[in-house]
Amino acid sequence: NAGVTQTPKFQVLKTGQSMTLQCAQDMNHEYMSWYRQDPGMGLRLIHYSVGAGITDQGEVPNGYNVSRSTTEDFPLRLLSAAPSQTSVYFCASSRSGFWDNQPQHFGDGTRLSIL
């Protein structure tokens, strides 16, 4: 089992460029989420999905789009990159319902720099 796989691991963009951060999970988890982590800010929720075809906004959704066409994949799109979006991005997945001590599994992150 690979768990949660994020690609790429590192990326440098220029302001105004667009790109898609990929996230895939092989655990058949219904729920998936995207977070960004900035120094001193903890992790902040960008978007999440409770199943294929269903997405919702988190704390900091502006400038990002998501879609969930399959259970396995949950890509995050930056429409027009801005320096403020320089961050480490984490994708996570979990099962539906309450599973004691088994909720979110995190990927190892995508480190994104926008010049």
Smallest separation, CB 50 to another protein (Å): 6
How many CA within 13 A on the CB side of residue 113? 4
Is the peptide bond preceding residue 8 cis, with omega within 30 degrees of 0? yes
C-alpha dihedral sign at 55, 57, 58, 61: positive
Pairing of strands 19-25, 4-7: antiparallel
Q: Which spans of this chain sit near another protein (rule: CB under 8 A)?
A: 4, 31, 33, 35, 40-45, 48, 50, 56, 58-59, 90, 92, 94-104, 106-109
> Which one, 19 or 44, has the nearer CB to another protein?
44
> Which one, 7 or 18, has the nearer CB to another protein?
7
> Which one, 35 or 64, has the nearer CB to another protein?
35
